């Protein structure tokens, strides 16, 4: 009788990953997707037994019972099961719960765990040949994190319901991120810009003209605080000779940067490509899980959640072989190695292309525009990291003019080194070349160029800078940076404005309450310490229950105290207005809602009339309408501001009206932002020159 062939079921998280891996394995394998977590805590209650070692009450996730049953049936038919969820805490927990569910139905089934850093034929086949067991320390670290987050969320949220507004929620790590954003906003608002001026001089030698900047005058500190100061200085310099005092040449070696970690990828994609952290991770997931390249389907990058700059010896050999062929004069004698942060878990390699031969040009026909741009910076950063440094030369010229010292300089790249492979990541050289100058040369004065400036205050956080801050402060981990930002945006505690993260009135009210009542829990250092403790549980198999208990007991006492003693601010943010309800004649009240302020009838619940708050008077002559915020009816269109008399009046603008009226024409001012001026105020009237040029006017 013929021996029965052994069949193996391999379970991954996503259908895209399943589709890719299925192509690599022979007929003895079936690949199915779990679609993420199948077993988790219920949403409707705490579900953590705080009296008995914080044991979580796990249930099948709503809507996932069918998937779980299909996997159990498939496992029973196969006999062998390989669990291949992501190689991190969440992935380990997913595998752990699936294993328990399968063995509960049939204890005879052999269930093993496999891990891999990239989805390529070789990596998958090697992983299948070396199955192991589930890491219980990693599962416990995930369980501790989940229990902590549930305890904090389910104890803080009811306080917000009772004291602020129904339907609000608070999270352990998100609340700390919100605190950082609110504190930065307070710094932005309290900053008072100061005026200062700079003075350049345009000089020439022969036919070549160039600029030099004033760096010193006399022996004292140079301060030009007004146009009068500049004018006085120009008078002192009238008719003086401009003589070359010193010419210096300095050479500098610039090392390539290491391949990307998750946070560095998110920061660079935000700065270079304008991607949000969420978008970056979604596209990176697609590149990791697999893309059709001709008739082949392959994962183009390694696992995208990592805090390490380490790369494998195989990848190192491949990239050096590629460089020896394509850039033979730019390969270092020995490989470049990069130190890994002391706080890094170093569980995965850096983010790199799985096959360096798949250049951005080669894969371009198979990727959409955003996929190609993200893949390009990953490929460029990785390949450049194993090349020789670039060499630069800076020529600096000091020019004496009476008691004033001016300086002109320019930098040129003398050896491209690793920069030869950079395109999207290339730095732009904008400095103009100087003429050949030597000490004693007398230069021809052309003109002075004066420019007014204002000191710049602290910048609001962007996706890039908040991720950098979270990483530097030890808050969150590679898998959580993007979700932290998304949660704050989804809850309307924070909004994006010109790519900046700005706390809403609701976000600031919640932050004030939490910081005042729970300063220890909503503390940067405390949160970072908790992350470190979770890492220790994962790495050393530490005991998680005592860690949670140490946190819970004083936290619960504080919650009880706040519930008893804190005054409710429900309705405190409400403000009576002079607007009258057109339905019942009562006064309208300004209220803070889920998506910002709105007007509601004071006769609620008898009258349920609500409407947008007028932000300004319509500036159109003869129109008595008000300007309110609007959104396009279809989809999640961009917010704009239009007249309440529409369609009789079709005035619209995409700039939010400010409370201040233009002192020249009486129209309203708006806040604009551009690369040259940064964030600034301008009049919306196209015929008014107050703080803007005429072409920046009304959009209708």
What distance in Å separates the CA atoms of residue 164 and residue 513, rounded to the nearest whole number? 9
User: Are 377 and 283 contacting, i.e. CB atoms less than 8 angstroms apart?
Assistant: no
User: Can you tell me whether residue 309 is helix, strand or coil?
Assistant: coil
Name the catalytic one among 303, 375, 493, 641: 303
What distance in Å separates the CA atoms of residue 231 and residue 241, rounded to the nearest whole number? 18
What distance in Å separates the CA atoms of residue 146 and residue 138, rounded to the nearest whole number? 12
Token pair for 350: 């850096």
User: Are 424 and 464 contacting, i.e. CB atoms less than 8 angstroms apart?
Assistant: no
Buried b / exposed e across 273-305, counting CB within 10 Å, b at 16+? bebbbbbbbebbbbbbbbbebeeebbbbbbbbb
User: Can you tell me whether residue 633 is helix, strand or coil?
Assistant: coil
Token pair for 227: 């146009």
User: Are 237 and 432 contacting, i.e. CB atoms less than 8 angstroms apart?
Assistant: no
User: Counting beta carbons within 10 angstroms of the beta carbon of residue 588, is it exposed (0 to 12), middle (13 to 18) or buried (19 or more)?
Assistant: buried
* Half-sphere CA count of 563, side-chain side, radius 13 A: 13
User: Counting beta carbons within 10 angstroms of the beta carbon of residue 506, is it exposed (0 to 12), middle (13 to 18) or buried (19 or more)?
Assistant: buried
In terms of DSSP bridges, do strands 296-298 and 110-113 run parallel, antiparallel, or are they unpaired?
A: unpaired
Question: CB atoms < 10 A from the CB of 19, how many?
Answer: 16
Question: CB atoms < 10 A from the CB of 572, how many?
Answer: 12
What distance in Å separates the CA atoms of residue 522 and residue 531, rounded to the nearest whole number? 14
Verify whether residue 303 is a known catalytic residue: yes
Q: What is the CA radius of gyration of the chain?
A: 31
Spatial CB neighbours of 309, under 8 Å, sequence gap ≥ 6 = 258, 259, 261, 338, 339, 340, 350
User: Can you tell me whether residue 282 is helix, strand or coil?
Assistant: helix
The conformation of residue 429, written as its DSSP 8-state character, comes to P
Token pair for 108: 């005879």
Cross-strand bridge partners of residue 588: 601
What distance in Å separates the CA atoms of residue 200 and residue 178, rounded to the nearest whole number? 43
In terms of DSSP bridges, do strands 610-611 and 657-661 run parallel, antiparallel, or are they unpaired?
A: unpaired
The conformation of residue 80, written as its DSSP 8-state character, comes to E
- Just list the catalytic residues: 303
């Amino acid at each position: 009788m013929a021996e029965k062939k052994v069949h193996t079921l391999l379970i991954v998280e996503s259908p895209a990953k399943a589709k890719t891996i299925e192509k690599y394995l022979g007929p003895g394998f079936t690949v199915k997707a779990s679609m993420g977590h199948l077993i988790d805590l219920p949403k409707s209650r705490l579900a953590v037994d705080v009296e008995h070692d914080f044991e979580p009450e796990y249930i099948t996730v709503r809507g996932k019972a069918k998937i779980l049953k299909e996997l159990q049936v498939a496992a029973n038919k196969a006999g062998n099961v390989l669990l291949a969820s992501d190689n991190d805490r969440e992935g380990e927990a997913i595998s752990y719960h699936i294993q328990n569910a399968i063995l509960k139905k049939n204890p005879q089934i052999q269930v093993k765990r496999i891990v891999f850093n990239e989805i390529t034929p070789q990596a998958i086949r090697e992983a299948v040949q070396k199955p192991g067991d589930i890491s219980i320390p990693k599962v416990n670290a995930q369980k501790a994190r989940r229990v902590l987050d549930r305890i904090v969320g389910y104890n803080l949220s009811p306080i917000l319901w009772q004291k602020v507004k129904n339907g609000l929620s608070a999270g352990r790590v998100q609340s700390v991120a919100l605190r950082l954003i609110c504190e930065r906003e307070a710094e932005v608002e309290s900053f008072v810009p100061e005026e200062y001026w700079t003075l350049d001089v345009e000089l020439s030698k022969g036919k070549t003209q160039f600029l030099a900047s004033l760096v010193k005058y006399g022996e004292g500190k140079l301060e030009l605080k007004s146009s009068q100061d500049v004018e006085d200085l120009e008078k002192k310099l009238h008719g003086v000779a401009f003589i070359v005092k010193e010419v210096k040449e300095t050479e500098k070696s610039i090392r390539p940067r290491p391949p990307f970690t998750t946070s560095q990828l998110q920061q660079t994609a935000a700065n270079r490509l304008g991607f949000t952290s969420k978008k970056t991770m979604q596209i990176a997931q697609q590149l990791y899980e697999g893309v059709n390249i001709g008739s082949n389907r392959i994962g183009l990058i390694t696992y995208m959640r990592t805090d390490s700059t380490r790369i494998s010896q195989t990848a190192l050999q491949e990239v050096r072989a590629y460089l020896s062929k394509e850039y033979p004069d730019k390969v270092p004698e020995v490989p470049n190695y990069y130190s890994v942060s002391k706080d890094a878990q170093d569980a995965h390699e850096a983010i790199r292309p799985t096959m360096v031969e798949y250049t951005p040009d080669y894969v371009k026909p198979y990727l959409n525009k955003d996929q190609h741009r993200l893949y390009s910076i990953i490929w460029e950063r990785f390949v450049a990291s194993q090349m020789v440094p670039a060499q630069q030369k800076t020529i600096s010229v000091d020019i004496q003019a009476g008691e004033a010292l001016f300086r002109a300089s320019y930098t040129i790249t003398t050896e491209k080194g690793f920069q030869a492979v950079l395109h999207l990541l290339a730095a732009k050289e904008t400095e103009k070349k100087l003429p050949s100058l030597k000490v004693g040369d007398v230069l021809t004065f052309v003109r002075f160029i004066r420019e007014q400036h204002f000191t710049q205050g602290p910048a609001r956080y962007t996706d890039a800078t908040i991720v950098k801050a979270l990483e530097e402060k030890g808050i969150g981990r590679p898998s959580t940076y993007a979700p932290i930002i998304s949660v704050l945006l989804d809850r309307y505690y924070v909004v994006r404005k010109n790519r900046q993260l700005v706390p809403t009135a609701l976000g600031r009210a919640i932050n004030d309450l939490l910081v005042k009542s729970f300063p220890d829990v909503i503390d940067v250092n405390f949160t970072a310490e908790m992350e470190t403790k979770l890492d220790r549980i994962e790495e050393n198999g530490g005991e998680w229950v005592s860690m949670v208990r140490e946190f819970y007991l004083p936290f619960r006492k504080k919650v009880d105290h706040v519930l008893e003693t804190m005054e409710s601010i429900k309705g405190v943010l409400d403000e009576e207005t002079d607007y009258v309800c057109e339905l019942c004649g009562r006064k309208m009240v300004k209220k803070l809602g889920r998506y910002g302020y709105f007007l509601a009838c004071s006769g609620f619940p008898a009258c349920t009339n609500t409407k947008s708050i007028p932000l300004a008077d319509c500036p159109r002559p003869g129109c008595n309408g008000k300007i309110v915020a609007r959104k396009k009816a279809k989809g999640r269109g961009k917010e704009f501001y239009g007249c309440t008399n529409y369609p009789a009046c079709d005035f619209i603008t995409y700039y939010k009206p400010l409370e201040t009226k233009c002192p020249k024409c009486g129209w309203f001012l708006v806040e604009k932002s551009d690369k040259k001026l940064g964030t600034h105020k301008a009049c919306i009237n196209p015929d008014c020159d107050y703080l803007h040029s005429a072409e920046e006017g009304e959009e209708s």
